[in-house]
Amino acid sequence: MDWGAKVELFEKIRREYFEGVGTILGVAEKLGVHRRMVREAIRSAVPMKRKKMQRESSRLIAGVLLFIHQILTADQQAPRKQRHTAQRIYQRLRDEMPQEEVSPRSVRRAVRDWKQQHKAERTETYISQHYEAGREGQADWYEAYADLGGERVKPQVFCLRSMYSGAAFHRAYLRATQQAFLNGHTHAFEMFGGAFRVVRYDNLRSAVKQIMRGKRREQTTRFLAFRSHYLFDAEFCTPARGSEKGGVEQEVGRFRRRWWTPVPKHANLSSVLQTL
């Protein structure tokens, strides 16, 4: 199991222990893991990294993968009962690309990976406009100008808004790094008195490593560990559909007009933070 997958497993373990069955033995039996792993996850949301044993790579070459992906893509237009199985693709590889050495197992793995990445989620998702207390927050970055020490700069401002009360947290940073992103959450949760059960985002690089089909996202390992620590879920908007987090978008416009107009003048960024 790679480290990123283990972070995801730790999140499931922590949720079961803190919000579910509540015992080490119960979590171990429910998730099929050793009690030692449950204790490790309870101690920390971030698993210890262990040395990986070196082993020979069994990855397929690019030409073979392209051949497989082209077949699977074409299959989307074929009748369901006339689509390729992994075994049929392997047979075609032997016939059409005999110069390449491939195994049935590597072909099955490539087919499985492609299908997992292309699961279609065709139904539109509609977001409820009725919010429960403490359930959902919406987060975003925005830009605003400020004169610091006589020089005009453009800070990046993190915003987290409660969708129940409308209260919001804003904090300015010089750059929108992942460290600033997580730091902004920590200060916001302190102000709100705890973490929301769900936080909605755009597809920020600090949180999303890869956009999959539909609502599926491959999240960054560090963000997964952060969520596991605070035990909250993340939801992500459809690309180019900012209206799915309209609450924080409206908050940014309101706050920019109220507190960033006219352009504020301060000695340094710390002075800006004290006024927000």
Domain boundaries, the chain: 3-43, 63-117, 136-275
What percent of the chain is predicted at pLDDT more than 90? 37
Question: β-pairing, 146-148 with 151-153?
Answer: antiparallel
State the virtual CA torsion across 95, 99, 103, 104 in degrees, nearest 10. Answer: -20
- pLDDT at residue number 57: 37
Measured at the CA of 202, the angle between CA 199 and CA 204, to 5 degrees, comes to 100
Q: pLDDT averaged over the chain?
A: 85
pLDDT reading at 56 higher than 50:
no
Nearest alpha carbon to residue 202 among 162, 229, 231, 242: 242
What number is the average pLDDT over the span 75-92?
84
- pLDDT at residue number 3: 73
Q: In the structure, what pLDDT confidence band is assigned to residue 131 with cuts at 50, 70 and 90?
A: confident
pLDDT reading at 257 higher than 80:
yes
62-75 and 86-96 helices, crossing angle to 10° = 130
Higher pLDDT, residue 240 or 230: 230
pLDDT reading at 12 higher than 70:
yes
Distance CA 91, CA 51 (A): 38
Higher pLDDT, residue 226 or 116: 226
- pLDDT at residue number 123: 45
Cα-only R_g, the chain: 24
Higher pLDDT, residue 1 or 113: 113
What number is the average pLDDT over the span 62-88?
85
Superfamily in which the 136-275 domain is placed by CATH? Ribonuclease H-like superfamily/Ribonuclease H (3.30.420.10)
- Cβ contacts of 223 within 8 Å, gap of 6 or more: 178, 182, 206, 207, 234
Q: Cβ of 65: how many Cβ atoms within 10 Å?
A: 15
